[in-house]
Amino acid sequence: MNLKKLIVFALTCIITTQTFAHSRWILPTHFNLSAENGEWIMVDITASNETFNVDKAMGADYVQIITPSGKVTRPSSTYKGHRKSVADYFIATSGTYKLTNNNKPAYMTTYKVGEERKRIWANKAELVGKIPKNAKEIKTSYRFARIESYVTMNAPSDNFQTDGTLLELVPVTHPSDIAENEQVTFKFLFNGKAQKNVAVEVIADGARYRNDPQALKLVSNAKGEINFTPTSAGRYLLIAEHQEKISGSALADKQVGSVFLTFEAQLN
For other proteins, the closer CB: 10 or 35 = 35
Among 22, 39, 135, 228, binds other proteins (CB under 8 A): 39
- Provide, rounded to whole angstroms, the least separation between the CB of residue 35 and other proteins: 5
- Provide, rounded to whole angstroms, the least separation between the CB of residue 238 and other proteins: 20
Binding status of residue 67 toward other proteins by CB under 8 A: no
Among the candidate windows 65-73, 172-180, 224-232, 250-258, which touches other proteins by CB under 8 A?
172-180
Q: Cis (ω within 30 of 0) for the bond into 52?
A: yes
Binding mask 12-31 for other proteins (x = CB under 8 A): ------------------x-
Q: How far is CA 179 from the centre of its chain?
A: 21
Among the candidate windows 6-14, 17-25, 77-85, 147-155, which touches other proteins by CB under 8 A?
147-155
Binding status of residue 266 toward other proteins by CB under 8 A: yes
Binding status of residue 154 toward other proteins by CB under 8 A: yes
Among 2, 16, 36, 212, binds other proteins (CB under 8 A): 36
For other proteins, the closer CB: 146 or 235 = 235
Binding status of residue 32 toward other proteins by CB under 8 A: yes
Q: How far is CA 165 from the centre of its chain?
A: 13
Closest CA to 106 of 65, 62, 47: 62
- Provide, rounded to whole angstroms, the least separation between the CB of residue 37 and other proteins: 8
SS (H, E, C) the chain: CHHHHCCEECCCCCCCCCCCCCCEEEEECCCEECCCCCEEEEEEEEECCCCCCCCEECCCCCEEEECCCCCEECCCEEEECCCCEEEEEEECCCEEEEEEECCCCEEEEEEEECCEEEEECCCHHHCCCCCCCCCEEEEEEEEEEEEEEEEEECCCCCCCCCCCCCEEEEECCCHHHCECCCCEEEEEEECCEECCCCEEEEEECCHHHCCCCCCEEEECCCCCEEEECCCCCEEEEEEEEEEEEECCCCCCCEEEEEEEEEEEEECC
Among the candidate windows 58-66, 124-132, 173-181, 240-248, which touches other proteins by CB under 8 A?
173-181
Among 67, 92, 126, 156, binds other proteins (CB under 8 A): 156
Binding mask 201-220 for other proteins (x = CB under 8 A): --------------------
Binding status of residue 34 toward other proteins by CB under 8 A: yes
- Residues in contact with other proteins by CB under 8 A are 30, 32-36, 39, 152, 154-156, 176-177, 179, 266-268
